[in-house]
Amino acid sequence: MLWFGSDGARCSTLLDWYVNAGDMIADLDACRIIAESMIGGTPTTNATIAEALSVMTQRGEQWLLVNPCPEPWNSDHMLAAIRGLSVVGEQIMVAGGDPTQLDQELLMDLVTEAGHIIGEVGSFVVQLTAIVRDWTSRSMEGT
């Protein structure tokens, strides 16, 4: 259920936010892929990619804090995904880059949850687009 119901103008505002957040959302999905690869990676490979994951998760978190979503639950979900992926990278590096020293199932759960959130965001954008398109069509018919 959409937060704005079927209010096209408010949905349009939210859709605009998602368009502006596109790069951050793409980076979030890239972070998910990096974190997942670290779980199966070697200490040497993980040391190389850990810095990229750290920079990307920090950048994503900062972007969301400066540009909060008009729908607070969505910002909260995305922040949870970013922080979960950050934890994966941090824990692997604390273990010297060796994920076999950690609870890999728990780490994978964090990555999977982030993937679900990213998927929900995509579905939400599709719903918003349909509402805005319908609202725009109806508005044009009335003029």
Q: Does the reported pTM lie above 0.85?
A: no
**Structure confidence at residue 1 (pLDDT):** 37
Sign of CA pseudo-dihedral 110, 32, 79, 69: negative
pLDDT bracket for residue 60 (50, 70, 90): very high
Say what the pLDDT of residue 30 is: 94
- Answer yes or no: is pLDDT of 42 > 90: yes
Phi (first) and psi of residue 5, to 5 degrees: 60, -130
Domains in the chain, CATH or no CATH each: 9-133 (1.20.120)
CA angle 10, 15, 17 (to 5 degrees): 100
